[in-house]
Structure 1
């Protein structure tokens, strides 16, 4: 019999719509104004601090909705924005500079819905508010690092070719290599020019060869520095849990970062701006640190203090750098003390293996390096960074190390987590500094949401009225499908971790509202044609849906491809528009073809009909 529902179609429609409706629910509960407390580098947030917070707020006659302690942070939920501001000021005075106290918005989703993974849609910077950073890359440090790598490579290559030299020294933006005699100079000149095509070699002074990067190589180094920093900043943003951020190049040495929904700007700046890496070096076993402190520092060694301020004499030769780290996770060792478990790439594992093979029983130091801005600028108006080095661990090498090992000697679990986060996200190839910061307030975002919502509602009402008047009973079916389509878009946007609703995304929803009925219009007009050709109502319904399917599919596939291209090549607002467009196309096809067919079959299927209200 024509137009009878199969059980799998009914179940498919019910299950998909019910699931989307369930995950769309968190969006109706709204958000609480909240104050978030997180620890600085030398502090720890504990459960016992909750009582301190309650007492301090009670003295100001503030009654929180609730206080939560989770993930080493305290979240204080309050009733309104005025109370939120007073609470933040109160807690800042209570906790001092060792803690970050920031205003936040926390979803008010019921616990039973949270346990099922239900969360509201993530809103973009233009809707939710958030922070905009403009960051500058220190290019002088990039070139210095590249010269250091070249300097180390020269020593290794010349020793490998058994070419005798007096010294290899970096001077400014070039490297001077001094030789013992003319014969060694000639051999080195021929060898190095063939080995290092990116450098130019000129004779300067007596028995000295000067190596300088070609201009094309310098430009390549600068471009790669910005690209690599962009990749690493994106990884760090992911560690912060920000969905749909904007991270892109601006000019020759600047990067734009937009973090929608971020209220804890201090924490964001700490993570994004930190230039952290590690170096593994051997302690100098042949010389006394006391002699070095008295001014007799050996040429191949360097004094670096540990976390307690005790000087350590280390070899300048670097066994391994943090650039080979592919994963880092905090944990505890067999004594319950915090540590960081590190995994290296294959090249790093081989280097560590070769370096530790002949040093078993000797002490190895782990040096933590940060570049911090001094706030001053050089003659070229570039920021000046200060390099800070600290020995965080000295351990005796008990066995040959490979691609997996541990860093111990950390002061607290939080320090271990922060270090692991920075190393896992990647060591910036060059220091960066935030030169501009702008915050988009929630009030502006609220206005955008209200205007966007009005556009969606007005568009929806106009389409509903047209379909009801023009297609009568079948118009009601189309309207049910249209409302279902909107619920599904919201549900899917809430389910996808990386999906963010932006103002252009709301425009995409408005467009989808109009496009969603296109399929129904094609189907209903085909049914009308079949009726005019003399087919029975049941045959008209059957042929109307079957015949219009290929046209609907072709039209939506072409639009979906356009949305896919926008998503692939676009950034920020364009991505936001393309996401809602593609989701809307998929849901509109589902509701127009399957949901309306199930409803029409349930109403008209298996009945003797004289005419249709269409």
Structure 2
């Protein structure tokens, strides 16, 4: 134990130095934050003297990751929204109507004249002129059923078709409703995240809660009303003709065209027409599906007006690409293979099932898929956030000083060694939080304060064990060696159980509880590392230099 190899010493001090370097930017928080914001602004909007000065305010060769401050520390806005997922069912049925109508018109001799009648929300009801042709009508419409593309709906179709008298009824199946609800929440999350990210807010927290609710926390924003207005902004989704591709973002696109970047392919730019063929306002549905070869794809459907415009365009541009543009970025540019009538189409490519699902989400990210009702809203002022920071800092400092005094008073010189490791431990916690980009909240500060008290537990076990060995008249070197060996099992058991608890808190908790769990888990790991390796290395280096005949712990 008292002969630690040089490579192991180098590794221990290297880990310490690296994590402390990662924590360093937090000592200059405002300067580093301005540095990071200026870099992002230059990438998006170009250089200005003010931004260049902000970038120069922090050396580029030093780490610049920060521990992000949560809503309760920075101040900001909090919203709890409920998504009205049932609104989507009616839109889906409106999108199905043109396809069902065209299919039944081809069987007019059998089913007679067809007419849509007013039905319950989310239900498509069609009256046929010849009730005797109902069986044929049901057969024709059931051919329009599509298999559900998710694990829970395997073997199920997306619509249920029934008939009674002269009225044919089409509605979503229960499995498709469940899949639609999930897609609606995911689409809403994507839209809200894009809207919030667009204004440059720092580390917003946007999470699903339960079946149909979304929690939105945005630090640094002025008020809940401002956040609601921001979320209500509609993204721009358009379908445009493609003139060509270029690697040069400054290329001359020609009159009536513009150059837009590709969302997926870095360095690829598309020259597209400024005028759109159809826009996202005409899109009623987009969902993952399979192409004729069984490969993942994305199917989409327009409303009647959009279907007519899209059909006319595809008829005259077969073999040409067209661009799907979201917020001035080309997310896909498929080639038109055939005249697309009826207002529906399919996008193919080298997709996985996850890719096709994500693209379907992006296609609907132009507008909220369903109305969102805000159940709770709260604004936290920056002054309250600063008060929370000051209170948390004071609590942590008091705990820190008390632990330092206790260890020095109880264990003398060895307590001072443990105190040095404790200081290193706190720095390592902030270094790891900065590395993973964690958000620090008030419960997170509580987790750090708790870690300060728990951090010396391992040292207490070790030192007490060394005391016992010294009472048996063992030499100091042997007493130290046995103390570390025999205390190890108790240290591992105690910290593993606490680490499991932190994992359960993270898995089952939300928001602040997760923040507490993250800081607690990181604190456990760094505490064990500092007690078992750092403190021991300090003691070994001291022992090698002094060679004491006796020691007092």
**1:79-98 residue pairs with structure 2 within 5 A?**
none
Q: Could you list the runs of 5+ residues in structure 2 that have no partner in the other structure?
A: 146-156, 242-246, 266-274, 284-302, 333-358
User: For the structure 1 residues 340 and 169, does the alpha-carbon distance in structure 2 shift closer, same or farther, using more than 3 Å as the test?
Assistant: farther
The match for 1:503 is 442
| 1:366 shift after superposition | 3.2
Is the counterpart of residue 400 in structure 1 residue 360 in structure 2? no
CA displacement at 1:526 relative to structure 2: 1.5
Corresponding position of 1:154: 100
**Is the counterpart of residue 573 in structure 1 residue 512 in structure 2?**
yes
1:474 aligns with 2:414: yes
Q: Does 1:261 align with 2:220?
A: yes
TM-score by length of 2: 0.69
Alpha-carbon distance between aligned partners in 2 of 1:553 and 1:575, rounded to the nearest angstrom: 23
Q: Distance in 1 between matches of 2:490 and 2:192?
A: 41
Q: What residue in structure 2 maps to residue 228 of structure 1?
A: 186
Contact 1:133/1:434 (8 A) holds in 2: yes
Per-residue deviation, 1:145 = 1.4
Among candidates 170, 188, 203, match of residue 243 of structure 1: 203
Equivalent in the alignment of 1:367: 279
What does residue 71 of structure 2 align with? 125
Q: Per the alignment, do residues 280 and 190 of structure 1 end up closer, same or farther by CA in structure 2, a change over 3 Å counting?
A: same
**Where in structure 2 are the equivalents of 1:273-288 lying within 5 Å?**
273-276=232-235, 278=237
Give the Å deviation of 1:202: 4.6
Number of positions where the alignment pairs a residue of Structure 1 with one of Structure 2: 464
Structure 1 portions without partners, runs of 5+: 39-46, 48-67, 79-106, 283-328, 345-362, 372-386
Q: Is the 8 A contact 1:566 1:578 kept in 2?
A: yes
Which has a greater percent of strand? 1
User: Any idea what SS the aligned residue of 1:5 has?
Assistant: coil
Change (3 A) 1:165 1:520: farther
In the TM superposition, residue 27 of structure 1 has moved relative to its aligned partner by 1.7
Deviation at 1:171, TM superposition (A): 3.0
Contact 1:244 1:500 in 2 (8 A): no
Quick check: 2:84–2:370 contact (8 Å CA) kept in 1?
yes
- Per-residue displacement from partner, 1:114-169 (whole Å, max 9, x unpaired)? 55441331000000112223445455641221212443563576589997553363
Cα deviations by residue, 1:351-405 (Å, 9 ceiling, x for unpaired): xxxxxxxxxxxx992323299xxxxxxxxxxxxxxx9x9999x977655368xx5
Matches within 5 A, 1:404-423: 406-407=323-324, 416-417=328-329, 423=362
Deviations 1:389-439 (A, max 9, x none): 9999x977655368xx5358x9xxxx6259999948945432447687543
Q: Quick check: 1:242–1:262 contact (8 Å CA) kept in 2?
A: no
- Superposition pairs for residues 102-181 of structure 1, below 5 Å? 111-135=57-81, 137-139=83-85, 141-152=87-98, 154-155=100-101, 164=111, 166-167=113-114, 169=116, 171-172=118-119, 173=121, 174-181=123-130
What residue in structure 1 maps to residue 231 of structure 2?
272
Give the deviation of 1:545 after TM superposition. 1.6
In structure 1, what is the Cα distance between the partners aligned to 2:364 and 2:208? 17
2:518 aligned with 1:597: no
Partner of 1:321: none
**Which deviates the most, 69-78 or 505-514?**
69-78
What's the CA shift for 1:22?
A: 1.8
1:71 aligns with 2:44: yes
Quote how far apart the aligned CAs of 1:608 are.
4.3
What are the Cα deviations for residues 27-50 of structure 1, in whole angstroms up to 9, with x where unaligned? 222427999xx9xxxxxxxx9xxx
Distance 1:183 1:277 in 2: 47
TM-score normalised according to structure 1 size: 0.63
Change (3 A) 1:425 1:526: farther
CA contact (8 A) 2:201 2:221 kept: no
- CA drift of 1:558 comes to 1.8
Q: Measured at CA, do residues 429 and 599 of structure 1 come closer, stay the same or move farther in structure 2, by a change above 3 Å?
A: same
2:538 matches 1:610: no
Taking a change above 3 Å as real, the CA distance of residues 556 and 178 of structure 1, as seen in their structure-2 partners, is: same
CA distance in 2, matches of 1:109, 1:533: 62
Distance 1:343 1:224 in 2: 25
Change (3 A) 1:243 1:528: same
**C-alpha spacing 1:599/1:231, structure 2 compared with 1 (3 Å):** same
Against the structure 1 CA distance between its residues 477 and 255, is the aligned structure 2 distance closer, same or farther, given a 3 Å change threshold?
same
- 1:600–1:274 Cα change, 3 Å: same
Q: 1:565 to 1:343 in 2, by over 3 A?
A: same
Q: 1:184 aligns with which of 130, 133, 136?
A: 133
CA distance in 1, matches of 2:330, 2:240: 22
Asked if residue 6 in structure 1 is aligned to residue 5 in structure 2, the reply is yes
**Contact 2:249-2:259 at 8 Å conserved across structures:** yes
Q: How does 1:201-212 map to 2 (within 5 A)?
A: 201-203=162-164, 207-211=166-170
Quick one: distance in 2 between partners of 1:33 and 1:538? 46
Tell me, yes or no, if the aligned pair for 1:276 and 1:369 is still in contact at 8 Å: no
> Cα 1:244–1:534, aligned 2, differ >3 Å: closer, same or farther?
farther
Change (3 A) 1:108 1:491: farther
Query: Any conservation in 2 of the 1:121–1:494 contact (CA below 8 Å)?
Result: yes
Change beyond 3 A, Cα 1:333–1:168: farther
State the SS of the aligned residue for 2:4.
coil
Q: 1:243 to 1:139 in 2, by over 3 A?
A: same
Q: Secondary structure at the match of 1:538?
A: helix
**Structure 2 counterpart of 1:488, from 407, 410, 428:** 428
Aligned-partner SS, 1:201: strand
Classify 1:343/1:609 alpha carbon distance in 2 versus 1 (closer, same or farther; 3 Å): closer
Residues 74 and 170 (structure 1), Cα distance of their counterparts in 2 relative to 1, 3 Å cut: farther
